[in-house]
């Protein structure tokens, strides 16, 4: 336990700002998960691995001398097709089945991806240098790397863009219709198969954006996916499906929680505290629901 | 219950399968000496595992092409059986057992990382199989009284304690304030022990003592604290990801410390990935190519580095060099023992006293190499930061450049 | 009935004789036994009760740490044993070793059972995928947190007491083999006996429709917790044995090894056929042979193979080996099939 953070007010501010910027990034990944969960009732354990794969795309652009920020444009394009490919190969066979089947199947995909990325890119930790500087506040006592601000900004743009797309475009309306009632949508002439593929593709594309941003701000590594999956799962169950402001809020909340846990408990318990928080939230939710059930009785 | 029949036939099939797969290898086949090794080809240590494997292979090829090993008037060649231990201690112990009892291997080469070596050492010890390892530096390996374990490297607690001494020296002999962050794994925690001892010896105070998770990619919290308390030395160790993350965030957060000491800088290709941002980082290394050790197989460090680069297309980190040295030690011991008896080879290994391109090798009672000091190098760049190099700065005997201390603050860089 | 006795006797004799017939495979066989125990216990949850858990690894890891800690702590100060990576050497006498092991295994089995009972009410109230993800979180959190606790070695790992010098070189392997074989026999007998009681039917009722079961007056929560406690008991035991066998405990890689053991136990049970008595046994055996036979020669590709294997099993083979056999030879499972009806069904397909 370390309470230095409360003794130095600048550290509290630093942690909060770091947490919020980080949380916006988490929220973007979580938004993708909420989308596919809501539309096709699939929990994708490989979500985090898609993020890391997106990160590698940006990293390779960086290696070839292109500024990694362009990865934000290129990576979602490639990832969209990766997502559609995964859907055609695996996901379409588990869409109507038990949820546990989809969890296990995507777990398999996750292991497969981790290892293929290990072969393709090596197990080295890599990062793409954006060369963006640092914003310093309060006489250098609070620092905000511009790359983090950039990431948060891009995440917000993509999220807003997607919301508008969902509202206005034909495909977006078809996706929303399918989420509401797949059978009714089918009867009314929506090609649900196509909608599912597109949904999974869009989810993968969002992961691609997030991955590119992570490779600019942090480091990437083939085996780092699972914590991102768990985080996005957690954000989604706290916020509920199809509640974008909620996803953004709980994303930022999680980010701030993590930063504070980092300072107070020590960095070694960071991942542990995220997973523990997940358990606590689920248990809390269970008691809340069961009270509701009793009330109904 | 007809199902019984199925199960019975299933069991007999299993029995048949087991009995047909009898041991097919032995320690020495024809003119080959078979060595066994579990190596991390997948999982979190796989990049360093590959360095280790490349180092082994390079030495095997070199020794075989330069006449092999002469035992009892006959020439033998080395061959290595590799298994993938998946960076997992449980798997490593299981594979060591498998190499020894199923494949009949009688001489082992070490895996990568202290944790895995810790898992394998009890197995080799039980069977009395000599193991020369090049990548398990944890000090606790050498205090257990293992008789068949030999390490060509210096123990982990010696990695960075020199840096503390240097800092104290530069501080005019007065104690310093130390901030440290170490990954939660056997190796880094042992480096930490060395720092704790050095701090006690010099009367220095440790003001931040953080631990980093294994899935580390963000250490902003530690660095923000460092910024707030302003220590004289910042020590970070967490394999390659620790080094990379630390440099990135130190540069982004503009953390000013007079001295920054780390491990795994060369394996992380720090100067290549970070360029000028990594300048002035002080790194512990078991070996550096500019050291003037010699042997007849690889010549000297520079030649080794050139040959390695030609074969594997990258500059050898010390993990590869020390692995190659392990094979040289084995060859030397076989020739002196003039036998393939495990006990005799073990005794010959214990009496090793030789020089290789990697350094002098002489084993202490516990099996660690006591004849080779650690070196510290500092990353130094030219003016525009286009080319960064690792220059040895300590100990003074090997130094090719002068330590730059304190590190200039970010506003001046 | 007669045939059954022959079968069990044959297996028992095979099991007892195995380490002497295949001395080189003792450790492999011990690991197989541990895997069978894990698959059998997972099947109580995932197969019979329909609660697909990724969290049994929690009890396995807990058992592993507890067994080793008790074995050390009974005779020496635990903190000094693990201090600075286990530098100090304490030597167990043979009596101390075996006493410690026995006591350790008892604790390793009992404490996880109690833990399962305590957290059961909160966790087992979750349904479906919420339960699956929650237990996944439990396992990972346990691993991460135990990796930060100094007294059990934290990041440096925990070296379990080395086997004392008794008997020949083979003694250690034989000891652990018989220990794990005993665990399998014990688990199998327990599971088999509870599968022939009303308890199993209740578990199945929970699986098929929990709300209806509740409406029929079954206190589902009570039975769910009991089922979980039984699993925890044997998982803890298996963990304790495995800890001694491996000799080195690392928090995330050996003890709370969700990425390997946690997934393997699910996979083995599904491969063999969940919801059957023999399925997990067969699944574990096939899986282990596949793994040891081909795995080690893949040099890295094994995880690709594992990923593909999981996907293929889950999508195309969700009923497992036993389910496939049952469909193919229903009469052997004591099911009476109307031939005409079956043909009609095949034609329909």
Question: For every residue of B145-196, which 3-state class applies, written as one string?
Answer: CCCCEEECCCCHHHCCHHHHHHHHHHCCCCCCEEEEEEECCHHHHHHHHHHH
Q: Taking 50 as the threshold, does the pLDDT of residue B149 lie above it?
A: yes
**Once rounded to an integer, what is the mean pLDDT over residues B221-228?**
83
Give the nearest partner residue to A115 out of C141, C303, C310, using CB atoms. C303
| Cβ <8 Å between C311 and A43 | no
- Note whether residue A54 is domain-resident: yes
The predicted-structure confidence for A43-56, as pLDDT tens digits, reads as follows: 888 999 999 999 99
CB-CB contact of C243 with C64 (8 Å): yes
Chains in contact with A, where contact requires at least 3 CB pairs less than 8 Å apart: B, C
Residue with tokens 């029929």: C216
A223 vs B: CB within 8 A:
yes
The predicted-structure confidence for C130-171, as pLDDT tens digits, reads as follows: 888 888 888 888 888 888 888 887 777 888 888 887 777 778
* Predicted local distance difference test score (pLDDT) of residue B12: 61
- Note whether residue A296 is domain-resident: no
* Predicted local distance difference test score (pLDDT) of residue C238: 93
Q: At CA A216, angle to CA A215 and CA A221, rounded to 5?
A: 20
| Cβ <8 Å between B2 and C172 | no
The predicted-structure confidence for C208-255, as pLDDT tens digits, reads as follows: 888 888 888 888 888 999 999 999 999 999 999 999 888 888 888 888
Nearest residue of chain B to residue C29 (CA atoms): B18
CB pairs under 8 A between A and C: 124
How far does C114 lie from chain A, in Å, by closest CA? 19
Identify whether residues B199 and B216 lie together within a single domain.
yes
The neighbour count for residue B404, using CB atoms within 10 Å, is 15
CB-CB contact of B398 with B375 (8 Å): yes
Least confident of A70-79, A267-276, B172-181, C56-65: A267-276
Least confident of B17-31, B155-169, C124-138: B17-31
* Predicted local distance difference test score (pLDDT) of residue B24: 47
- Note whether residue B137 is domain-resident: yes
Picking from C216, C85, A145, C126, the residue whose alpha carbon sits closest to that of residue B248 is A145
Identify whether residues B242 and B169 lie together within a single domain.
yes
| Cβ <8 Å between A262 and B252 | no
- Note whether residue A273 is domain-resident: no
Mean pLDDT of all residues in chain C?
84
C152 vs A: CB within 8 A:
no
Nearest residue of chain B to residue A215 (CA atoms): B217
Burial (CB < 10 A; 0-12, 13-18, 19+), residue C13, is: exposed
Identify whether residues B141 and B44 lie together within a single domain.
yes
* Predicted local distance difference test score (pLDDT) of residue B25: 47
Cα–Cα dist C188/C85, whole Å:
38
Identify whether residues B142 and B36 lie together within a single domain.
yes
Give the nearest partner residue to C315 out of A105, A226, A276, using CB atoms. A105
* Predicted local distance difference test score (pLDDT) of residue B16: 56
CB-CB contact of B174 with B209 (8 Å): no
Output the pTM of the full model.
Answer: 0.87
Least confident of B12-26, B392-406, C27-41: B12-26
Cα–Cα dist A51/A33, whole Å:
12
- Note whether residue A218 is domain-resident: yes
When pLDDT is cut at 50, 70 and 90, the band that residue C338 belongs to is low
Q: Taking 70 as the threshold, does the pLDDT of residue C29 lie above it?
A: yes
- Note whether residue A198 is domain-resident: yes
Cα–Cα dist C191/C194, whole Å:
5
Cα–Cα dist B182/B246, whole Å:
11
CATH of the domain at B259: 3.40.50.2300
When pLDDT is cut at 50, 70 and 90, the band that residue B1 belongs to is very low
Residues in contact with B65: Cβ distance below 8 Å, sequence separation at least 6, in sequence order: none
User: Looking at beta carbons, which residues of chain A come within 8 Å of C134?
Assistant: 278-279, 282-283
Identify whether residues B280 and B400 lie together within a single domain.
yes
* Predicted local distance difference test score (pLDDT) of residue C1: 53
**Once rounded to an integer, what is the mean pLDDT over residues C112-128?**
88
The predicted-structure confidence for C299-337, as pLDDT tens digits, reads as follows: 667 788 888 888 888 888 888 888 888 877 777 666 666
* Number of domains observed in the structure of chain B: 2
Domain range enclosing A44: 21-240
Chains in contact with C, where contact requires at least 3 CB pairs less than 8 Å apart: A, B
User: Looking at beta carbons, which residues of chain A come within 8 Å of B220?
Assistant: 18, 259, 262
Identify whether residues B41 and B64 lie together within a single domain.
yes
DSSP state of B319: H
Helix and strand totals (H; E) in chain A? 13, 2
**Once rounded to an integer, what is the mean pLDDT over residues B90-111?**
88
Q: Taking 60 as the threshold, does the pLDDT of residue B22 lie above it?
A: no
Cα–Cα dist A9/B228, whole Å:
11
| Cβ <8 Å between B215 and A4 | no
Domain range enclosing B257: 158-285+382-412
- Note whether residue A105 is domain-resident: yes
Mean pLDDT of all residues in chain B?
83
Picking from B218, B270, B280, the residue whose alpha carbon sits closest to that of residue B240 is B270
User: Can you give chain C as a three-state secondary structure string?
Assistant: CHHHHHHHHHHHHHHHHHHHHCHHHHHHHHHHHHHHHHHHHHHHHHHHHCCCCCCHHHHHHHHHHHHHHHHHHCCCCHHHHHHHHHCCCCCCCHHHHHHHHHHHHHHHHHHHHHHHHHHHHHHCCCCHHHHHHHHHHHHHHHHHHHCCCHHHCHHHCEECCCCCCCCCCCHHHHHHHHHHHHHHHHHHHHHHHHHCCHHHHHHHHHHHCHHHHHHCCCCHHHHHHHHHHHHHHHHHHHHHHHHHHHCEECHHHHHCCHHHHHHHHHHHHHHHCCCCCCHHHHHHHHHHHHHHHHHHHHCCCHHHHHHHHHHHHHHHCCCHHHHHHHHHCHHHHCCCCCHHHHHHHHHHC
Identify whether residues B147 and B120 lie together within a single domain.
yes
Q: Taking 50 as the threshold, does the pLDDT of residue B316 lie above it?
A: yes
- Note whether residue A180 is domain-resident: yes
- Note whether residue B194 is domain-resident: yes
Nearest residue of chain C to residue B144 (CA atoms): C89
Identify whether residues B303 and B234 lie together within a single domain.
no
**Once rounded to an integer, what is the mean pLDDT over residues B344-361?**
88
Percentage of residues of chain B with pLDDT beyond 90: 4
* Predicted local distance difference test score (pLDDT) of residue A64: 86
A88 vs B: CB within 8 A:
no
- Note whether residue A278 is domain-resident: no
Q: At CA C270, angle to CA C19 and CA C228, rounded to 5?
A: 85
| Cβ <8 Å between B89 and C253 | yes
Nearest residue of chain A to residue C122 (CA atoms): A283
Least confident of A221-230, B27-36, C110-119, C230-239: B27-36
| Cβ <8 Å between A220 and B217 | yes
When pLDDT is cut at 50, 70 and 90, the band that residue B17 belongs to is low
**Once rounded to an integer, what is the mean pLDDT over residues C43-65?**
89
The predicted-structure confidence for A107-164, as pLDDT tens digits, reads as follows: 889 988 988 888 888 777 777 777 777 777 776 677 788 888 888 899 999 988 988 9
| Cβ <8 Å between C246 and B88 | no
């Amino acid at each position: 336990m370390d309470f230095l953070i409360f003794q130095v007010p600048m550290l509290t501010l630093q942690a909060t700002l770091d947490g919020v910027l980080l949380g916006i990034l988490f929220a973007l990944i979580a938004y993708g998960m909420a989308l596919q969960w809501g539309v096709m009732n699939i929990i994708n354990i490989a979500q985090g691995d898609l993020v890391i794969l997106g990160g590698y795309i940006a990293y390779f652009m960086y290696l070839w001398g292109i500024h990694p920020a362009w990865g934000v444009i290129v990576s979602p394009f490639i990832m969209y097709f990766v997502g559609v490919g995964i859907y055609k190969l695996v996901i379409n066979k588990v869409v109507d089945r038990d949820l546990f089947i989809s969890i296990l199947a995507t777990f398999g995909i996750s292991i497969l991806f981790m290892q293929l990325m290990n072969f393709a890119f090596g197990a080295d930790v890599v990062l793409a240098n954006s060369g963006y500087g640092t914003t310093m506040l309060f006489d250098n006592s609070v620092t905000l790397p511009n790359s983090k601000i950039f990431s948060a900004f891009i995440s917000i743009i993509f999220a807003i863009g997607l919301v508008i797309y969902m509202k206005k475009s034909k495909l977006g309306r078809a996706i929303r219709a399918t989420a509401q009632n797949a059978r009714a949508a089918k009867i009314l002439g929506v090609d649900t198969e196509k909608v599912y593929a597109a949904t999974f593709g869009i989810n993968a594309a969002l992961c691609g954006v997030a991955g590119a941003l992570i490779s600019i701000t942090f480091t990437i590594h083939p085996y780092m996916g699972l914590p991102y999956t768990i985080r996005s799962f957690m954000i989604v169950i706290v916020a509920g499906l199809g509640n974008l402001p909620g996803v953004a809020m709980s994303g930022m909340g999680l980010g701030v929680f993590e930063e504070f846990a980092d300072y107070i408990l020590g960095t070694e318990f960071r991942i542990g505290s995220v997973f523990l928080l997940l358990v606590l939230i689920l248990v809390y939710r269970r008691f809340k629901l069961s009270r509701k059930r009793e009330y109904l009785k | 219950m007809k199902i019984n029949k199925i199960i019975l036939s299933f069991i007999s099939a299993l029995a048949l399968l087991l009995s047909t797969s009898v041991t097919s290898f032995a320690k020495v086949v024809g003119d080959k000496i078979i060595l066994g090794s579990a190596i991390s080809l997948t999982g979190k240590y796989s990049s360093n595992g590959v360095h280790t494997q490349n180092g082994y292979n390079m030495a095997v090829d070199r020794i075989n092409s330069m006449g092999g090993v002469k035992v009892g008037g006959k020439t033998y060649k080395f061959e290595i059986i590799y298994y993938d231990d998946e960076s997992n201690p449980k798997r490593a112990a299981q594979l060591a057992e498998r190499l020894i009892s199923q494949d009949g291997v009688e001489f082992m080469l070490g895996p990568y990382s202290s944790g895995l070596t810790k898992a394998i050492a009890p197995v080799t010890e039980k069977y009395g199989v000599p193991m020369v390892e090049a990548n398990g530096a944890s000090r606790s390996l050498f205090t257990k009284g293992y008789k068949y374990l030999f390490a060509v490297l210096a123990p982990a607690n010696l990695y960075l304690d020199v840096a503390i001494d240097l800092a104290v020296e530069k501080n005019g002999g007065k104690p310093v304030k130390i901030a440290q962050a170490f990954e939660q794994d056997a190796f880094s925690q042992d480096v930490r022990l060395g720092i704790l001892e050095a701090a006690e010896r010099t009367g220095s105070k440790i003001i931040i003592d953080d631990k980093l998770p294994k899935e580390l990619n963000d250490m902003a919290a530690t660095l923000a604290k460092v910024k707030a308390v302003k220590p004289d030395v910042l020590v970070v160790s967490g394999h390659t990801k620790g080094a990379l993350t630390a440099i990135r965030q130190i540069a982004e957060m503009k953390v000013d410390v007079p001295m920054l000491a780390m491990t795994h800088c060369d394996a992380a290709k720090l100067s290549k990935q970070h360029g000028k941002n990594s300048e002035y980082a002080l790194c512990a290394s078991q070996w550096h190519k500019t050291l003037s050790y010699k042997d007849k197989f690889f010549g000297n460090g520079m030649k080794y580095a050139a040959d390695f680069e030609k074969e594997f297309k990258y500059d050898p980190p010390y993990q590869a060099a020390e692995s190659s040295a392990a094979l040289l030690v084995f060859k030397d011991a076989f020739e002196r023992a003039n036998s393939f008896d495990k006990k005799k080879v073990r005794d010959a290994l214990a009496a090793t006293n030789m020089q290789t391109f990697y350094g002098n090798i002489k084993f202490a009672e516990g099996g660690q190499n006591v004849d080779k000091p650690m070196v510290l190098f500092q990353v130094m760049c030219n003016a525009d930061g286009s080319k960064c190099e690792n220059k040895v700065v300590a100990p003074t005997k090997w130094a090719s450049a002068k330590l730059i201390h304190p590190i200039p603050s970010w506003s001046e860089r | 009935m007669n045939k059954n006795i022959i079968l069990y006797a044959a297996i028992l004799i095979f099991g007892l004789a195995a380490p002497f017939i295949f001395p080189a495979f003792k450790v492999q066989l011990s690991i197989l036994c541990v895997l069978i125990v894990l698959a059998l216990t997972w099947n109580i949850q995932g197969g019979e009760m329909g609660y697909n858990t990724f969290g049994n690894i929690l009890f396995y890891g807990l058992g592993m740490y507890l067994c080793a800690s008790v074995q050390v702590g009974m005779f020496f100060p635990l903190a000094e044993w693990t201090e600075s990576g286990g530098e100090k050497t304490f030597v167990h006498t043979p009596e101390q070793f075996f006493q410690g092991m026995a006591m350790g295994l008892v604790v390793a089995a009992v404490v996880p059972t109690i833990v399962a009972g305590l957290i059961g009410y909160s966790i087992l109230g979750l349904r479906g995928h919420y339960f699956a993800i929650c237990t996944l979180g439990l396992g990972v959190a346990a691993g991460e947190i135990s990796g930060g606790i100094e007294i059990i070695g934290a990041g440096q790992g925990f070296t379990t007491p080395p086997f004392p010098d008794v008997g020949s070189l083979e003694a250690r392997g034989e000891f652990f083999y018989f220990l794990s074989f005993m665990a399998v026999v014990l688990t199998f007998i327990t599971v088999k006996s509870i599968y022939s009681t009303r308890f199993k039917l209740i578990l199945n009722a929970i699986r098929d429709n929990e709300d209806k079961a509740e409406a029929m007056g079954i206190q589902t929560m009570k039975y769910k917790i009991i089922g979980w406690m039984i699993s925890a008991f044997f998982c803890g035991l298996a963990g304790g044995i495995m800890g001694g066998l491996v000799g080195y405990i690392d928090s995330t890689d050996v003890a709370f090894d969700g990425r390997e053991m946690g997934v393997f136990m699910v996979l083995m049970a599904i491969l063999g056929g969940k919801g059957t008595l023999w399925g997990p046994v067969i699944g574990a055996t096939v899986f282990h042979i596949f793994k040891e036979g081909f795995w080690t020669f893949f040099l890295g590709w094994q995880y690709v193979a594992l990923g593909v294997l999981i996907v293929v099993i889950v999508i195309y083979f969700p009923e497992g080996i036993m389910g496939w056999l049952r469909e193919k030879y229903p009469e052997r499972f004591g099911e009476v099939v109307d031939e005409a009806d079956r043909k009609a069904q095949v034609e329909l397909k």
